[in-house]
Structure 1
Amino acid sequence: MTSIIGAGAFGSALAVALSSAETVTLWARRLPEGREMPRLPGVILPDSIILTDDLDAALSDTVILALPAQALGGFLDQHGAALDGRTLINTAKGIDLSSGKSPTTLIAAHCPNARIATLTGPSFAADIARGLPTALTLACADSDVEALQHALSRPALRLYRTDDLRGAELGGALKNVVAIAAGVAIGAGFGDSARAALITRGFAEMTRLAVDLGARAETLAGLSGLGDLVLTATSEQSRNFRYGKALGAAQEFDGSITVEGAKTAQAVSRIAAERHIPMPIADAVAALAQGRASVAETVLELLRRPLKEE
């Protein structure tokens, strides 16, 4: 049996997909009144999903942590001891702003005896819940990750494996920053050519920082990096893209919607500065998210950068 901690859109969607072949326990902090999850309107949880708010009852040997990146550390502070010693699969795509740590680094610090993996890649919760074909990356340093790959794969949910845990999780985190920048370009009326330039140069930034932090460049060129970037920087389903679009158009954005890239941009900008790695797009997104610069000022700053070889 697989346990999923977090009944948001992605956790609920994974529960629906995995429950086609096994019983799945889904832990929610607050139980809904029925079997329809608030974050997945129109999707009814099948009977093979056990929905509970009792964490002790929810835990099994394999636990998927479907929690936002900025909430993961606090959850581990409270429940890390209960999770230790299990197979823990992170799905958060971000970098903790307060500590500057990646999700798996946080998990390892709280659960030193756990087997840690990351499930990431181009996917929208609604697509997974509807059974639409989706391919993801399962990253784990454990040599026996193939068994986990087969256990979690489904006919419409195809998992590719890698041992580059750092590369997979950084790809998922950094692409959100670029997706915000792409949204700003569209929201401000700069057009698709500007968006294409930001995606391309943003991917270069992603790879530059990830490699410096120990990732492999080919991992960033796969599903967890480039694949996820293409999806989130071009679709209205992407929360990060819609947030950037609202910034570019000077419109209000629903504060109840989790936008991982806003905090991650701030963390990335700080980390890049400490390591003397130029990240102008991440810096621009961080400034916009914090209200330290206007869109016009940010664009002008980017355009003033020295011309150089690609």
Structure 2
Amino acid sequence: MKVAVLGAGSWGTAIASVVAENGHKTTLWARRREQADEMNQEHRNHRYLQRAILPDTLCATHNLCEAVEGAELIVVAVPSKSVAHVAEDLSACLSSSIPVVAHAVKGFDPDSKMRVSEVLAVRAHIPEEQIAVITGPSHAEEVIAHLPATIVVASKRRLIAETVQDVLMNQYLRVYTNPDVVGAELGGSLKNIIALAVGVADGLGAGDNAKAALMTRGLAEIVRLGLTFGASPLTFAGLSGVGDLIVTCTSIHSRNFRTGRMLGQGKALPEALASIGMAVEGVNSTRIAVELAKKAAVEMPIAQTLHRVLFEQMPLDEAVEALMGRARSHEIEEVAKENLTAEWES
């Protein structure tokens, strides 16, 4: 199969490497000519994956239309803030034959606040049933090093999901499928918020108990918001939910965790972001999730408190007090009340 991967950051490069190693004719689109030349001539992507050697069969280009010409599968792997622009450019390159389009973006469009599949449908005119989502616990640094990993591909159509599954799956990357596009996208986007919060706790030296609590209660917030958009609660118990949440909240490869840790250590947000030097999706996702939660009347205390830290200069000690001092509540959420026993209700 001819495959085009759009976005030569760490994850886009790792995906393109996997696909090329699996024997598919693969073209990786980079925004900058110098980056494409480096990958073609040196088979390296020093900025994003310094230690990795790319497959000789992987071809890079800075020309978007050249990259997608004749492609049967297009994978979009750019930062969320760039999706709308890339989608419009992609639309101008596509012929009447629409290929399968997958995306591996864990964030929201900052202007429209739409999920990425919605942006692709609106801006690139891709039918929603032709779109798949690639998500799950998958740090590029480990995937490109052939360390064992599992991810999930979600699509409304089983054939589309299984097509992408077949292209990606090999002996070190196991790929599952899921019909819940909304849940897969929300899980991948919202977990970055919780990873920021866990990073802050780590930077403050709050301890493992606090980090475990943030992950657990953070998952409850993700589920609450996800259900209002029609997502399945089972999706959040899977790879795109708890799986991605765990790895993003605990790994040194996680930009969101590292950013949060720097905040906890006293660095300002601009300084922390500059130190990372790559997209930190959780910052924008925090802003959007709080807006979505307000409209849906969903309680997300961790996200809301983090929003005040990031955008309203709330002191970290006050943030901890605000979360720990909340009114008492039950662990069983409203969405699960029907499972309570009659004795408990009485």
Please say whether Structure 1 and Structure 2 have the same fold, judged by a TM-score greater than 0.5.
yes
Q: Is the 8 A contact 1:26 1:52 kept in 2?
A: yes
Choose from 81, 89, 93 the match for 2:106: 93
Choose from 96, 115, 120 the match for 2:135: 120
For 1:10-53, what per-residue CA distance to the aligned partner results, in whole angstroms no more than 9, with x for missing partners? 01111111111222100101132332102000212221101111
Q: Is the 8 A contact 1:182 1:244 kept in 2?
A: yes
- The corresponding residue for 2:156 is 141
**Bigger shift: residues 77-86 or 56-65:** 77-86
Distance 2:86 2:166 in 1: 28
Where does 1:295-306 land on structure 2 (aligned, <5 Å)? 295-306=316-327
Aligned-pair CA distance for 1:142: 1.1
- The corresponding residue for 1:210 is 226
Choose from 49, 53, 58 the match for 2:67: 58
Partner secondary structure for residue 138 of structure 1: strand
Q: CA RMSD in A?
A: 1.4
Choose from 44, 47, 53 the match for 1:36: 44
Change (3 A) 1:2 1:97: same
Q: Which runs of 5+ in 2 are unaligned?
A: 332-346
Q: Is the 8 A contact 2:91 2:125 kept in 1?
A: no
Q: Is the 8 A contact 1:173 1:264 kept in 2?
A: yes
- The corresponding residue for 2:15 is 14
Q: Is the 8 A contact 1:262 1:285 kept in 2?
A: no
Distance 2:296 2:56 in 1: 50
- The corresponding residue for 2:272 is 253
- The corresponding residue for 1:154 is 170
**Bigger shift: residues 178-187 or 150-159:** 150-159
- The corresponding residue for 1:201 is 217
TM-score if structure 2 supplies the norm length?
0.86
Distance 1:308 1:83 in 2: 53
**Bigger shift: residues 264-273 or 137-146:** 137-146
Aligned-pair CA distance for 1:150: 1.7
Distance 1:210 1:282 in 2: 14
Choose from 167, 172, 182 the match for 1:166: 182
The residue type equivalent to 2:303 in the other structure is A
Identity, % of aligned pairs? 36
Partner secondary structure for residue 268 of structure 1: helix
Partner secondary structure for residue 233 of structure 1: helix
Partner secondary structure for residue 272 of structure 2: coil
TM-score if structure 1 supplies the norm length?
0.96
Distance 1:205 1:226 in 2: 12
**Greater Cα radius of gyration, structure 1 or 2:** 2
- The corresponding residue for 1:77 is 88
Aligned residues: 310
Distance 2:163 2:78 in 1: 24
The residue type equivalent to 1:107 in the other structure is L
Partner secondary structure for residue 19 of structure 1: helix
